[in-house]
Structure 1
């Protein structure tokens, strides 16, 4: 390991290019901007951003705004880049390539430079492409947290909604590693994809007889667990398809439930929120995200996890705005990743 007391900081300009949201707006109108490079303190690393993974969450809050944001706001939560400055004795070292999921409450990572606490990053193995790593944090950690909250073990029957989405693709693979019998929903054109990832049974999410076909395939007992990424009426439907005291992990806000359904099914309902680790100022939760990031990267390096197909996006406001609209339109099976660094 190099002596961090003598490692020089890499040359950093005073200003940087960034993509900003001037204010929340339905059209997801973004601007190209020139901002000051962030100043770091204590255990923070300054990172030259190479790639940024886009998520539906970025698009949703570009439209509605977020209570902690000040405008103009730099969007983006998932990033990979090179450490260019770090306090003495802090790991990882200058020159390391790292991956991280940024705080929802602070400025994002769609900029040439960003700062992040050292304990919240994971070093990217040389065998993992940086653009693939940028696709992992939000979708991968959401999948892992969901499976942990659902307490998935060998023999469990698990329904994963939207199996062809990024969260669904990763969740299918890890659920199979844990020995679950995986059922999933997807458009017909994506059935081959989710089957290749390990799904045992796939249903067409547009099928008007979906519930009847699930019951015919599963039998009367119902699912042990459900990963519900859709929310709304689908959440209530999924609880109906669960066994008594079954487990459901919800990625969207909960609907209003009929009391009879809750009494009859007595579901164990979990809420999944990556943002909470930062908003609650939970150091343990932030460090756990780093541990999960390590698992994701190691799994890719060992060829135990297939990353969703990457679609590279140009680093400018117009292209990123269009990409975010695609995120909300649905039906997108890969990961859109912005290439920030031109080096």
Structure 2
């Protein structure tokens, strides 16, 4: 193995413009850690947001990036995972991330990949797929109740809509027109263009006397706040971006429950059983993708050296799909 490696470095206060490709000394795994030689990295909205906003644990020189795929090339004490195992991962924001040739992570965060699953597809799943499943877990089983997925054309929303259909929910969605046909083919009951002024009225007309049991919002806390009146009695407002700091409806009215989704928080607060559940969910996502039961976002490949400009493209919503960079087998 080399003694150093290529990595994208973050500069405090400089945002995306401050990303710099540098050489870093290759770390060695300690107890309970594995060193991954990355073959693919994937971009997520959280990446550009933290790069621009900063993080309490970050300092100049931090390597960003939460999702990647690679091969275990070294392991520390008390690690049962074998060297040579292909894994995907969702890295802690408190560690150097995936935007590099190598990544050091906790062994329990490594998610083994089925042999037949492409590295690029596997890299596209952890952040959006695990977020979608955690969002669904916020809502107790309710049979064929009506739920709304806001932003179902995005990576998280698309997987969430498909997984909700699998759970027997009657799923409604908002998305731009380019996604409507695919969402309907995947079992969504109806799709509305979020740019249409009357889409909420159209949804209520389709629902008739029924009210929504849950709203899954992928846009913002303010946007989720504006949708609270669509929920019925004991409904659930699930925020995948931000959280509700104040109740959106008066007390003792429809008695809705408010939920936040924070996948990365499992690194600081997750118990052993939480990680076991996450491992099971990762296995589900990969096996269903491999069998065709689940259709992730189309892959958009780019050269590793183009990473800052592709993060900017992701921020600006210039293309729809999942940005990945292949680093090659080592």
Does the TM-score normalized on the shorter chain lie above 0.5?
Answer: yes
CA deviation map 1:36-71 (0-9, x unaligned): 112211121111011111100001111111111122
Report the counterpart of residue 270 of structure 1 in structure 2: 259
1:151 positional shift: 2.3
Report the counterpart of residue 137 of structure 1 in structure 2: 126
For the aligned residue pairs, the C-alpha RMSD in angstroms reads: 1.9
Number of equivalences: 330
d(CA) in 1 for partners of 2:309 and 2:90? 22
Question: SS of the residue aligned with 2:219?
Answer: coil
Report the counterpart of residue 161 of structure 2 in structure 1: 172
- Correspondence 1:99 to 2:99: no
1:197 positional shift: 2.5
Which moves more between the two structures, 222-231 or 255-264? Answer: 255-264
Report the counterpart of residue 307 of structure 2 in structure 1: 320
Report the counterpart of residue 37 of structure 2 in structure 1: 48
1:219 positional shift: 1.9
Cα distance, 1:100–1:111 mapped onto 2, change above 3 Å:
same
1:152 positional shift: 4.3
In structure 1, the gaps of 5 or more residues are 1-11
Which moves more between the two structures, 90-99 or 333-342? Answer: 333-342
Q: Retained in 2: the 8 A contact 1:222–1:242? A: yes
d(CA) in 1 for partners of 2:326 and 2:24? 18
- Correspondence 1:309 to 2:328: no
Question: SS of the residue aligned with 1:42?
Answer: coil
What is the TM-score normalised by the length of structure 1?
A: 0.90
d(CA) in 2 for partners of 1:106 and 1:40? 13
What is the TM-score normalised by the length of structure 2?
A: 0.94
- Correspondence 1:243 to 2:243: no
Question: 4+ runs of 1 displaced by more than 6 Å?
Answer: none
Question: SS of the residue aligned with 2:265?
Answer: helix
| 2:10 paired residue among 17, 21, 31 | 21
Q: Retained in 2: the 8 A contact 1:308–1:335? A: yes
Cα distance, 1:96–1:209 mapped onto 2, change above 3 Å:
same
- Correspondence 1:207 to 2:196: yes
In structure 2, the gaps of 5 or more residues are none
Question: SS of the residue aligned with 1:98?
Answer: strand
Report the counterpart of residue 57 of structure 2 in structure 1: 68
| 1:286 paired residue among 272, 275, 287 | 275
